Structure formats: C-alpha cells, structure tokens
Amino acid sequence: MRKFVLLFRCRDRKGIIARISDFIFKNGGNIVTADQHSTDPQGGYFFIRVEFVMEEEGFGLRGLVEAFDPVGREFEADWKIYDCAESLRMGVLVSRPDHCLEEILYLWNAGELKVKIPFVLSNCEKHRKLVTGYGIPFYYLPADKDNRRENEILSYASGATDFLVLARYMLVLSPEFLVSYNKDIINIHHGFLPSFKGTDPYGQALEKGVKVIGSTVHFVNNLLDEGPIIAQEVEHVSHRDSRQDLIAKGRHSEKKALDYALSKYIDHRIIRYENKTIVF
C-alpha cells in the first residue's frame, strides 16, 4: 500500500467531504485519517487534511494529481497531494546556540524526524564536528549583519531543499531572499510572540519582569517575527531566575516547540490561512 496526504483549502460549501471521500473510495483507496476545519459553516473557509492509502499498483503521485485535478477545480480549491514515501528535504541554518541543532539531529538520527537533511549551514564553525559526525554536509558561511551572503545560501538551498528551518539563526533573511527561495522557512524564536520580538528576548523578558517565558515557532515572512505561528511553549519563571536561568529554562520550551512544529510540518499537517495556521 502507498500512503498519500491531501491538503485542501476552499470556500466552504456543501458536499466537499463527500466529494473527496468518494473520489478516494472510487479509486480504490481508503482513508486512514481525516481532519477538517471550517472557519464558519456559512460562507467561511474549509480546510481538510486527508491521509489515505492506495494499492501499490494504483496511481502514482502524478496520476493521482491528474485524477484529482477536476475535484480541485470544482471547488476552486488550493490543494496539494504528498506521497508519504518521499521525505521532505530540510536545510538547516544555525548560528552560535546549538541546542536546537542538537535536538534536530538527535531526532533525525533516531528516525523520528522523517526528513532528508542535505546540509547544515552556519556562520559558526564550531558545529562542524557535531554535524559531520552525523554524516551530514556542513557549510561554514561566515555571514554577518554587514554581509548576509544570501546568494550563497540560496545557491546551497534552492535546488537541494524543500524547506528551511532556522534553528536559532540570528541573521534576518531579506525580502529578496524570501522571494527567490520561494518555499517555506520555519523559524524558532526564543520569545513569546508577539511579545519580545527581535534581539535578546530573554533579556527583554527579564527587564519586563514577566512570570512566564515562552518560545514560538513560526513561518518566516517579510515582517520580523511576525509570520504565522505554528507552535508555542511556555515556562513559569520567578524573580529568582537570572538571565542565564531564563536561557536554560527556555531551551526546553524551544526544543519542545520546534520538535512539535517540525513533526507537524513533515507530516503535512499544517495549512496556512491569512496570517495564521491550521495545525491538524
């Protein structure tokens, strides 16, 4: 059996689920899981994720896409079908802090992050040993604020990856880069957005005297730390916690949020909608 995932978004109206499930059934498939959401049954948007299996000798991905095309047109939908046998290729960008990188590589090595990692790219040489120890190519690119070297990043990333994860990458990617790369970029921000954007969110949290800190995983868009939020995690803190304590506590929530968000993304469980996300 081959497994596929359909992500599908359209204006809500009658009969969408019936039409999709009928399509799958008629083509010899079986729905494994279906998750669905409507913003408003009268005139809102409709979102569905369907995970289904088909006989080995049936459609391949290409045939499936062709066969489904009329259904998509019928509902004027945005949709995409993924073949679960094809792992996404995830490029990793990282600066000095290494705990998110460690978490990603650990999970990947344990077979839990079902992605290919074509490379880890960093403006910090020190991660080389860790990365190459896992048999993953490491690209050292000493980018900084004055020279972001985005063309080089692009040359590594555009053909070789399906999406990028910024696993604590400290340089802001330019709008031009986003346009040129033109695929999803997922960022972990070590603050509880929309509070504490930009630099040193733990320092900002300490200064403000908050009693809970948080981490946010979001898609990158043109606005700094403003893209659609995928996941957030929090930790209680007190006046006893120093900046160093916040950093240490925050690492747990950063790793947990990133782990969760990447798992969801890799399983094709996220649909973007306005500036938000549906996470099935």
The first and second tokens of residue 235, run together, are 């930790």
220 binding a copy of itself? (CB under 8 A): no
194 preceded by cis ω (within 30°)?
Answer: yes
In the complex, what is the shortest distance from the CB of residue 25 to a copy of itself, in angstroms, rounded to a whole number?
A: 4
Cα torsion 12, 17, 20, 23: sign: negative
**Least gap, CB of 171 to a copy of itself (angstroms):** 23
Q: Could you say whether residue 208 binds a copy of itself (CB under 8 A)?
A: yes
Please give the helix or strand (H or E) that residue 256 lies within, else none.
helix 243-266
Q: Output 145 or 240, the one with its CB closest to a copy of itself.
A: 240
Q: Point out the catalytic residue in the list 98, 184, 225, 241.
A: 225
Phi, psi angles (nearest 5°) of residue 156? -70, -40
Decide if residue 278 touches a copy of itself (CB under 8 A).
Answer: yes
Task: Count how many residues are written for the chain.
Answer: 280
Q: Based on the shown chain and the rule CB under 8 A, indicate whether residue 136 belongs to the binding site for a copy of itself.
A: no
DSSP 87: P
DSSP state of 228: P
* Closest to a copy of itself by CB, 22 or 176: 22
Active site residue 267: no
Residue from 94, 115, 173, 231 touching a copy of itself (CB under 8 A): that is 231
DSSP-derived secondary structure for 140-206: E----SS---HHHHHHHHHHH-SEEEESS--SPPPHHHHHHH-S-EEEEESS-TTSS-SS-HHHHHH
Q: Which of 60, 63, 142, 194 binds a copy of itself (CB under 8 A)?
A: 194
Binding residue for a copy of itself, selected from 37, 116, 128, 148, defined by CB under 8 A? 37
Closer CB to a copy of itself, 113 or 157, in the complex: 113
Using DSSP bridges, classify how beta strands 163-166 and 138-140 pair: parallel, antiparallel or unpaired. Answer: unpaired
- Rule CB under 8 A: which residues touch a copy of itself? 13-19, 21-22, 24-26, 29-38, 41, 53, 99, 102, 106, 112, 133, 192-196, 208-212, 214, 228-234, 236, 238-240, 248, 252, 255-256, 259, 273-279
The residues carrying an active-site annotation are 225
